[in-house]
Homo-oligomer: A and B are copies of this chain.
Amino acid sequence: MKFIIQRDQLIASVQNVMKAISPRTVIPILTGIKVEAKSHGVTLTGSDSDVSIESYIPAEENEKVNVEQIEEGSIVLQAKYFPDIVRKLPEKTVEIESDSDLKVTIRSGKAEFTLNGQDAEEYPQLPKIQTDDSFELPIDLLKSLIKQTVFAVSTMETRPILTGVNINLKENVLKFIATDSHRLASREIPVTNTNIEFNNIVVPGKSLNELNKILVDAEETVEISVTNNQILFKTKHLNFLSRLLDGNYPETSRLIPEQSKTLIQVKTKELLSTIDRASLLAKEERNNVVRLTTQGTGLIEITSNSPEIGNVTEDITVQSIEGEELKISFSSKYMIEALKAIEYDEVSIAFTGAMRPFIIRPVNDDSILQLILPVRTY
C-alpha cells in the first residue's frame, strides 16, 4: 500500500474515526485505525464493536486532488500514536507506505516515521447494511433531534434500556424519546420522503452523542437505515454504524398528564438564569432542588435553602399565569437541561399539582416536550 495524501484531510478523517476507538477494548486490534487505499480513495475505520465509523477521502473531489500515487492495499495502525504524528508533521502532504513485513513508513518533509502495523485481514469485517430501506434527514435537523433528547437518557446501568434513545418512525412521523425515569424529553418531526416504518428501536445515548460531534452543520443530508440490531447513519464521506440496545422500551405516553391545573408562560432565558443562580446553593448534597412558588400577580418566586450555607430568593415577572396557586420543588439540573434543549424564547409550563409531573413546551409548538417529576420536600 502506498499513497500521498493532503494532511488536513487526513487529520479530519483521523479525528472522526478516533471517536469510535476506545483504548480499553477487549479486542486488541480495535485499538488501531484501519487504513485502506483503493484507486478511487482512502478509507479509515475505527470501531469499539458498539460503534464503527468509516471516513472516506476520495482521491479527487471538486477538481481538487486529495490523494495521489495510490498503490492499493490496507494496514492497521496504532491509534495511540498515528493521530499525533499526523497532526505534528511538518508539510502539507504526507506519504504513507506499507511493506510486506507490515512496517509502515510515514514521510513528510524531512521527517520519517516507521511504525509497526498490523494485518488488516485480522480487522473485523463491518456488517453490510442493506440501504434500500432508508430515509433522509437534513444534518442540522438530526442534530436538533439528538440534542433535544439525548441529555435525558439514564446514566445508570441498572436499567440498560434507559441509557438509549427510543426512536420510532410511524405514519411519516419520526419521534425521539429519552427518559431516566425522573424526567423525559421527546421531539417529533414529519418525514415525507419515505414509506418505511420502524417501531421502538433504542440507540445508545453514547452513540448519538458521538454522532452529534462528528456531523458538521451543513446543508448536507444524512441517510438512515435500520436493521434488527444495527442503525446506519450515512453521509457523503461518513458511515456511522451503531448497535441497537436489546430489550423493550417502556411505554411512556401514559406518563404525560393530559390536562393541567396551573399554566405559566415565561421567557426561557430569564427563567433559566434565575434557576441557575438559585441552584448555586443547592449543590450535590442537596440534590440540586429549588422551589417555585406562584405569587398571584404575574410573578413567580424561585427559592433555595441550605441551612448550613444560606438561602436565595428571586422573583420573575412571567408572561401569564392561569389556574391554581402552586408551590413545587424540582431538580434545578433537570430544569436547566430541559430549558436549554428547548431553544425557543418563550416556554409554557403545565403543572397538575405539586406531586405530579409537569410539562415544559415551547409556546405554540407541540413537537417538543420536556417532562420533569417534582421532588417531595417535606
Question: Smallest Cβ distance from A61 to chain B, in angstroms?
Answer: 29
Residues of B near A89 (CB, < 8 A) are 277
Question: Smallest Cβ distance from A201 to chain B, in angstroms?
Answer: 40
A78 CA / B84 CA spacing, docked (Å): 43
A114, CB-defined interface residue at 8 Å: yes
Residues of B near A112 (CB, < 8 A) are 312-314
A156, CB-defined interface residue at 8 Å: no
Q: A309 touching B277 by the CB < 8 A rule?
A: no
A113 CA / B274 CA spacing, docked (Å): 12
Residues of B near A111 (CB, < 8 A) are 274, 277, 312-314
Interface flags for A63-83 (1: CB within 8 Å of B; 0: not) read: 000000000000000100100
Q: B88 touching A309 by the CB < 8 A rule?
A: no
A116, CB-defined interface residue at 8 Å: yes
A266 CA / B254 CA spacing, docked (Å): 74
Interface size of A as a range: 20 to 34
Known contacts A114-B311, A114-B312, A309-B78; A85/B280 CB under 8 A: yes
Residues of B near A277 (CB, < 8 A) are 85, 88-90, 111
Q: B110 touching A314 by the CB < 8 A rule?
A: yes
Q: Which residues of A contact B (CB under 8 A)?
A: 78, 81, 84-85, 88-90, 103-104, 110-116, 273-274, 276-277, 280-281, 308-316
7 example contacts (A-B, Cβ-Cβ < 8 A) are as follows A90-B273, A90-B277, A111-B277, A113-B311, A113-B312, A114-B312, A116-B308
Known contacts A111-B277, A115-B310; 20 further A-B pairs (Cβ under 8 A): A81-B280, A81-B310, A84-B280, A85-B277, A85-B280, A88-B276, A89-B277, A90-B273, A90-B277, A104-B310, A111-B313, A112-B312, A113-B280, A113-B281, A113-B310, A113-B312, A114-B311, A114-B312, A115-B309, A116-B309
Closest A-B pairs by Cβ, 8 of them: A115-B310, A111-B314, A113-B312, A114-B310, A110-B315, A88-B277, A84-B280, A110-B314
